[in-house]
Structure 1
Amino acid sequence: MCGPFIRNHQYNEIKKQAGNLQHALRTIADRKVLESVRLGAAAKIEELFPDASSHQKQLLEHIVTLETSEDFHKYLRTLEPYILEFPPVTEKQIQKLFPKNKKLKIPNLSELDRRYITYLSWVDISTNKLFMVYPLNGQFVGVEGRYTPTNKRSFCFICHRYEDLALFSAISKKRPAKASADYYKSVGNYLCMHGHECNKNITDISSLESFINTVIG
């Protein structure tokens, strides 16, 4: 047996590949094409775990045997115990990430299902600010910025899904060597209005981590 090893964004990608295969089984009659879709889905899942153990590979490879809707549901349920939870974080730790916000409103952490969180975020409506907490290189980092709903749908820069968007603008901590005292640079991007939806959709963390690195310097 092995312990949890699947991160939320990886589980989302597995669900995506399972959905693609399930759709192919319903719509494609050519067995050779179906076999190609099966192998493609298995290969994309394998790429997510380059250091997987033999037992982990065995768990994941079952996707090539699935046929019915119940098979797919069972496959995904079988993987749920192996999902890595978002690292435990306390209110004190979060407050230290945002020291200038003395009246920081933190969500009820006990209500969160940490298995399905890639990044923790919440909006303070009173200040129109979005706060984001993410475990980067083994340490929690915090990013805050202005949160402006756009009343439009397009592609989120984090999860790349077509959703209702808000503009998130944060002040970068990076400063040129000879910058004046009043220098600042705002970094903005469009992201899902609702963080829980984004966490359900995200399949790749590279855009998220690139944005965070740009902000924190």
Structure 2
Amino acid sequence: METTIKTYQYFFIKREIEQLLNVYHSVNDKKTVATVQALATEKINEVVENDPQAIVLLEPFVQQIMDTNLKKEKAAELLERLKEHVAPFKQPSKIQVEKIFRKVKKLKQPDWQILDLKEHTYIGWNDPGTQKKYLLYYENDQLKGVHGTLSPTIIKGVCAICHKTSNVAMFLSTTKSGSDGTYTKKGNYICHDSDQCNQQLVKLAPFYEFTEIVKKEK
């Protein structure tokens, strides 16, 4: 079985490379550079959950990014090669998506043709006609989804999913709050553009925390 890495791990590694490049081009002190390199190696091993197979896969790659003469072009080339080992988001069928959002009438499906599935931890798409946003994801290998209203007002703020400063909008879902049949709205500011959010997502915990808050109770 081929060793693969997850999308968020790939983007975490990409972020580490960008930080290394910045240090290589702006710091002259060799000790400082060596410290940053050691930290980057440690963090990369941690993000792949210290999986021995993933660490072996990444070993030659990590060696190359430790070259202080590394240039942006070479780093981009290395990342392209690493991307070949990223496990893509498993595309569900149209019927599976309809089943997840079974209470939604005239559901607008994502345009799978334009999505790079290796760049998606989750699939998020907007339906401007109904001011709705849909999020589709896997949890313990089970396909799940949440949807809610998305405010048309876009502001600069921190996204509750990727924790980066971005163009965000308020996402609200209506959830059942008790056995008495009362409902409450729950949500937070998230990236308006889910493709960009996926590229900024380097940890899974915040994503699952958000989906847990906005899940519609049965």
Q: What CA distance in whole angstroms lies between the structure 1 residues aligned with 2:173 and 2:147?
A: 6
Q: Deviations over 1:20-43 (max 9, x none)?
A: 010001100000100011111111
Aligned to 2:19: 20
SS at match of 2:84: helix
1:95 pairs with 2:102: no
Unaligned segments of structure 2, at least 5 residues? none
Aligned to 2:136: 133
Query: Larger deviation: 107-116 or 118-127?
Result: 107-116
Aligned to 1:58: 59
1:167 pairs with 2:170: yes
Q: What CA distance in whole angstroms lies between the structure 2 residues aligned with 1:126 and 1:140?
A: 25
Q: What CA distance in whole angstroms lies between the structure 2 residues aligned with 1:59 and 1:189?
A: 41
SS at match of 1:22: helix
Aligned to 1:67: 69
Cα pair 1:38 1:64 within 8 Å, conserved: yes
Query: Larger deviation: 60-69 or 86-95?
Result: 60-69
Aligned to 1:47: 46
61 and 147 in structure 1: CA distance in 2 versus 1, 3 angstrom threshold = same
What code does the residue aligned with 1:6 have? I
Give the structure-2-normalised TM-score: 0.90
Q: What CA distance in whole angstroms lies between the structure 2 residues aligned with 1:3 and 1:153?
A: 41
Alpha-carbon shift at residue 59 of structure 1 (Å): 4.0
1:215 pairs with 2:214: yes
What code does the residue aligned with 2:211 have? I
Alpha-carbon shift at residue 191 of structure 1 (Å): 0.7
Q: What CA distance in whole angstroms lies between the structure 2 residues aligned with 1:84 and 1:164?
A: 28
Alpha-carbon shift at residue 66 of structure 1 (Å): 5.3
Q: Counterparts in 2 of 1:118-129, with a 5 A limit? A: 118-129=121-132
What code does the residue aligned with 2:151 have? T
Cα pair 2:187 2:214 within 8 Å, conserved: no
Show structure 1 runs of 4+ deviating over 3 A: none
What code does the residue aligned with 1:209 have? Y
Q: What CA distance in whole angstroms lies between the structure 1 residues aligned with 2:20 and 2:166?
A: 23
Cα pair 1:159 1:201 within 8 Å, conserved: yes
Alpha-carbon shift at residue 57 of structure 1 (Å): 4.2
Unaligned segments of structure 1, at least 5 residues? none
Aligned CA-pair RMSD: 1.8
104 and 78 in structure 1: CA distance in 2 versus 1, 3 angstrom threshold = same
Matched residue pairs, number? 212
Aligned to 1:37: 36
Q: Percent identity?
A: 28
Q: What CA distance in whole angstroms lies between the structure 2 residues aligned with 1:184 and 1:4?
A: 45
SS at match of 2:75: helix
What code does the residue aligned with 1:35 have? A
1:153 pairs with 2:156: yes
Aligned to 2:118: 115
Q: What CA distance in whole angstroms lies between the structure 1 residues aligned with 2:189 and 2:3?
A: 32
Match of 2:81 among 78, 81, 92: 78
77 and 151 in structure 1: CA distance in 2 versus 1, 3 angstrom threshold = closer
